[in-house]
Structure formats: C-alpha cells, structure tokens
C-alpha cells in the first residue's frame, strides 16, 4: 500500500506506538531510569505535533468509511494539543519529582487522554466521537486519583459519576437520533435533519440530550458544578493538564455537534445565550468568594467559557473562528498561570491558597511581571491578547444585534477583573514574608516567560492568529 494512504493517520499511529513503547519501557526500565519516560513522552508529543502540523495543508478527507475526518482544523488542534501536552509535562516535572510521581504513570495516562482527544477532534461519526470521548476521560479519572489523598479520591469519584451521567445523556441522544435518521455519520445526519420534515418531539429531545453532554464537557452553566471540586482535588500537575488540554478537545466536540445543531434548534441560540451569560455571572461571582487558588481558577474557567459560548451562539460564519481564537488565547494564559503556580511549594506544602502568593512579586520581580501580563490578559486589558479576543466577541455580538448581551458580558467582565487584580495586589502590594517557597531553574523561568510574553506578542500582533483561525474554520466547514 502506498504511503499516501497512511499519511492522514500518522499522528494517531505515532501516538499509539509511542504509548505502547512507553508502557513497555515503564515495565522493563529499572527504577533509576524511569525518568527517561519523561523524555520519551516529550519526543512522542513533538513528533505528533510535527506530523499534525504538516497535515494542516491537507484538504478535508473522510477515512474509515466516514468515521474519521482529517481537515485543517483537526490537524491544527491536534498539533496544538500535542504542544500543550509538551508544555504541561514541562511545567509538571518539578512537582512530580518532589512528590515522587516522576515515573511513567502520569505521562502514560496523559498520553492516553491526549490520544482520546485526537480521536474526538477528528470524529465524524457518533460512535467514534463517543469512543474518543471515553478514551479521553477514563485516564483523567485515574489521573485525578493519582494523589492518594481523600480529597483527590473524592474529586475523582465525583468526576467519574458525573462524567458517566453525561456520557449516558450523550448515548441516549445518539440512540434516539439513530432511531429517527437511521444513520450515525455526522454530516449525513445533520443534512437529513435540515432537509426532512421530521421535527418531532423525539428529535428535539435527542438534540437536547446531546447538547447537555456538550455543555457538560465544556463546563458550562448549569452543568458546571463539577469543575471547582475537580480542580481543587487534583494535584497541581493534574490540574495543569485538566485545565488546559481537555478544553480544546471539548471545543472540537462542541463545534462538530453545534455546527449541525445550531440551524436545527431554533431556541438553541437563546439557550446558548442564557448559558453564556449565566457562566459569566456565576463564574465571576463564584470566583470572587474563593480563597483557594485552584477553585478560583475553576470558576474563572467557567466564566471564560461564557465568552466562548457567546461566540458559539453567533454560528458558523461569524462565531466559530472567534470562539476558537478566544479559547486558544485563554488556554495559553491559563497554561502559563498554572505553570507559574507549579513552581511554588515543596514536598510538604502545596501552593493552592491565595495567601501563598503573598509578596511573591516583591521577591521575584521578573516572575511577578510575567504573572501580571497573564492576569491582565485574562481580564482583557489591552495591549494583551485577552483583550483582542474579548473585543472580537463583543464586536461580533454587536454586529449581530445583541447589544444588550454585549453590555451584560462587559459589565460582568468588570466584576471579574476584581479577583484577578486581587492576585496582583497580593503579589505586589503586600510586602509580607513568603509563606510558600518558590524554586525554578533558568530554563523553567525562561519557558514560563516565553509563555507569558506570547500573550503580549499576540496582543500586539493579533492579526495572524485570527486569520489562521478564520481560514481553518472556513476550510473545515463548508
């Protein structure tokens, strides 16, 4: 068989073989060489990223009897999550070493989850979508309980039960849809829906069930309550992974389904609008009252998802590219923030309280400056990238005539600014002694700075990434 036939599969194949290889390595390598797995995983992810990057120029292509699609957006997202994975491993390294988890489990579980996400991203059939989703979340349940503390076990159990519930919703929705249309391929099903006069209560019900699963995975109100507990219960390296990579996969999951759903359900726009505004409201208000950093971050994630949902609401032509752009910027910012947190703490103390940041900027000026960039970008202050992402969403909302939604979203942003500013104020305006030790090597602070400065550079030059997002969406959804 010629190589071209296998080309679109390269990222997945590489991933699968790497995982198998690292599993073997973990089994046969002596304990003192287990650290090698870290490098193996990094190399594997980089190779996957490289292959995916090269596939970005490929036109939309359906494989495996239409169960699997390779389009520019899928390739880009695969490349992006692989690079994200690299960064997550890099940041997680220190904490893993301190906690004596610097072995294979963390990496293998993350890679498995990454593999699941790659399938979700490329799924064009409900079954492959579901399988990918399960492959993505099952390792996450295990990852959360890696830290054998009561709260981690509790978090894992909560996530498991709720995750299973949402999967059940999804499956039920899918089976109803199959009953109505007799097909499970995404594109034909959506076409059947738009052409036929089958607008029965069963159809609406099935679409609602699917929507519930989508909102759950994105962590959108009213299916958001799991997020704070999971973030808080996980060890920092796990929160790092949970808070960044699955967001992208959930986005891909959402975009594949909403693309078909949006024209179908007339009330979907209103549902998404209310969900988005509630996200902003509950997320920001929830975050203000938290004293635990990770919990605060979870609420802030809910709030930021609100903007993504509001962008989604605007549909294919206007909204999806902006939603993608917003999400990318958010994930970069949150990665840097959690990465910065992972420098804090030692074997006995973990920096998960707001108090543990006190006086940090005062002592480590450069670290503090990068943190300021990250936080201001999360608020949405120019000239940082977060502002232009918010600007695009608001601008699109106004040109679609949803002026009042735009006003509400912006007002709630001001409410949200408070808790980000409080972190800056704790770090810089309190001269108190550091309560938690902070250590980082030159490489770590270097990568962290690049990560933070990326937000400044993307803010000064927002155009290239935006055009990229637009062309990705344009070429992937006709």
Partner 1 sequence: MQLPLLSCLIFIPIIGGIICLCFPQRNNRIVKSFAIVLSIISMALSIYLLDHFEQSTVSMQWSEIAPWMPVLNIYYHVGVDALSLALIGLSSLINLFIVLFIASKTMEKSNHYLAAFLMMQGFICGAFAAVDAILFYTFWEASLIPLFLVIGIWGGENRRYASMKFFLYTLAGSIFLLLAILYLHHKTLGFNIMDFQALRLDFHSQCWLFLGFLLAFGIKLPLWPVHTWLPDAHVEAPTAGSMLLAAIVLKMGAYGFLRFILPIVPDASRFFAPSMIVLSLIAIIYIAVVALAQRDLKKLIAYSSISHMGFVTLGIFSSYLIIAPTILDAYSTLGLQGSVIQLFSHAFISAALFLCIGLLYERTHTRLINDYAGIAKPMPVFSSYFMLFVLANSGLPGTSGFVAEFFVILSVFKAKIIYAIIASLSLVLSACYGLRMIKKVVWGPVKKGMEHLEDVQGIDKIVLLLFAFFILVIGLCPNKILNFMQSFLDRLLVQMLASKI
Shorter beta-carbon distance to partner 1: residue 214 or 296: 296
Residues 6+ apart with CB under 8 A from 165: none
Q: State the minimum distance, in angstroms, from the CB of residue 43 to partner 1.
A: 35
Q: How many Cα atoms within 13 Å fall on the side-chain side of residue 185?
A: 12
Q: Which is nearer to partner 1, 235 or 412 (CB)?
A: 412
Pull the structure tokens for residue 371. Answer: 């943190």
Taking every pair of Cα atoms in the chain, the longest distance, rounded to a whole number of angstroms, is 69
Contact 67, 123 (CB under 8 A): yes
How close are the terminal C-alpha atoms of the chain, in Å? 31
Exposure string of 88-120, with b = 16+ CB inside 10 Å and e = fewer, is bbbbbbbbbeebebbbbbbbbbbbbbbbbbbbb
In the complex, least distance from residue 383 CB atom to partner 1, rounded to whole angstroms: 5
Structure tokens at 72: 């520019």
Q: Which is nearer to partner 1, 33 or 414 (CB)?
A: 414
Closest approach, Cβ 53 to partner 1, in A, equals 23
User: Is 302 or 406 the residue whose CB approaches partner 1 more closely?
Assistant: 406
The closest of 170, 293, 159 to 219, measured between CA atoms, is: 159
Least distance in Å: CB of 463 to partner 1? 5
With respect to partner 1, which residue has the nearer C-beta, 194 or 467? 467
Pick the closest to residue 415 from 274, 221, 280 (CA basis): 280
CB 304 within 8 A of CB 231: no
Q: Kindly tell me which of 34 and 430 has the beta carbon lying closer to partner 1.
A: 430
User: Can you give the binding site for partner 1, defined by CB under 8 A?
Assistant: 365, 369, 372, 376, 381-383, 387-388, 391-392, 394-395, 398-399, 403, 406-407, 410-411, 413-414, 417-418, 421-422, 424-425, 428-430, 462-463, 466-467, 470
Q: Which is nearer to partner 1, 97 or 414 (CB)?
A: 414
Supply the minimum distance, in Å, between the C-beta of residue 229 and partner 1: 29
Q: How far apart are CA 466 and CA 478, in angstroms?
A: 19
According to DSSP, the β-strands at 61-63 and 68-70 are: antiparallel
In the complex, the smallest distance separating the C-beta of residue 410 from partner 1, rounded to whole angstroms, is: 4
- Taking the complex as a whole, the smallest distance from the CB of residue 473 to partner 1 amounts, in Å, to 13
For the bound state, the minimum distance from the C-beta of residue 411 to partner 1, rounded and expressed in Å, comes to 7
Q: Report yes or no: 68 and 121 within 8 Å, Cβ to Cβ.
A: no
Pick between residue 54 and residue 425 the one whose CB is nearest to partner 1. 425
């Amino acid at each position: 068989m010629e190589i071209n036939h296998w080309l679109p599969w390269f990222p997945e194949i590489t991933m699968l073989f790497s995982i198998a290889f690292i599993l073997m390595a973990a089994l046969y390598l002596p304990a003192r060489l287990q650290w090698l797995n870290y490098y193996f995983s990094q190399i594997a992810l980089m190779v996957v990223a490289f292959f995916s990057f090269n596939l970005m120029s490929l036109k939309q292509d359906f494989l495996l009897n239409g169960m699997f699609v390779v389009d520019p957006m899928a390739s880009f997202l695969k490349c992006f999550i692989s690079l994200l994975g690299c960064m997550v491993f890099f940041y997680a390294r220190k904490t893993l070493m301190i906690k004596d988890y610097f072995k294979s489990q963390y990496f293998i579980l993350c890679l498995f989850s990454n593999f699941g996400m790659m399938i979700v991203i490329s799924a064009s059939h409900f079954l492959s979508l579901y399988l990918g989703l399960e492959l993505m979340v099952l390792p996450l349940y295990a990852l959360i309980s890696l830290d054998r503390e009561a709260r981690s076990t509790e978090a894992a159990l909560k996530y498991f039960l709720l995750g299973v519930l949402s999967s059940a919703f999804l499956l039920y929705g899918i089976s109803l849809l199959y009953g109505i249309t007799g097909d499970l391929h995404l594109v034909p099903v959506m076409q059947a829906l738009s052409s036929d006069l089958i607008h029965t209560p069963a159809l609406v019900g099935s679409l609602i069930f699917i929507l519930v699963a989508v909102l759950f995975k994105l962590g959108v109100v009213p299916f958001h309550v799991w997020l704070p507990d999971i973030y808080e219960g996980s060890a920092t390296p796990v929160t790092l992974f949970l808070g960044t990579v699955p967001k992208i996969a959930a986005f891909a999951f959402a975009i594949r389904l909403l693309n078909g759903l949006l024209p179908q359900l007339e009330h979907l726009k209103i549902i998404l609008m209310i969900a988005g505004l509630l996200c902003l409201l509950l997320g920001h208000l929830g975050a203000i009252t938290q004293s635990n950093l990770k919990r605060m971050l979870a609420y802030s994630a809910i709030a930021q998802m609100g903007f993504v949902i509001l962008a989604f609401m605007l549909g294919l032509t206007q909204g999806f590219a902006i939603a993608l752009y917003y999400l990318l910027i958010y994930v970069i910012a949150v990665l840097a923030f959690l990465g910065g947190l992972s420098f804090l703490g030692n074997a006995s103390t973990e920096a998960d309280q707001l108090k543990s940041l006190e006086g940090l900027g005062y002592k480590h000026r450069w670290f503090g400056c990068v943190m300021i960039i990250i936080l201001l970008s999360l608020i949405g202050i120019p000239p940082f990238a977060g502002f232009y992402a918010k600007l695009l969403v608001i601008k699109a909302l106004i040109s679609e005539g949803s002026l009042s939604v735009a006003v509400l979203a912006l007002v709630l942003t001001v409410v949200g600014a408070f808790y980000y500013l409080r972190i800056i104020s704790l770090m810089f305006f309190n001269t108190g002694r550091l309560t938690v030790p902070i250590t980082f090597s030159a490489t770590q602070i270097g990568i962290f700075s690049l990560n933070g400065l990326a937000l400044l550079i993307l803010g000064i030059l927002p155009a290239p990434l935006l055009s990229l997002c637009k062309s990705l969406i344009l070429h992937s959804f006709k």
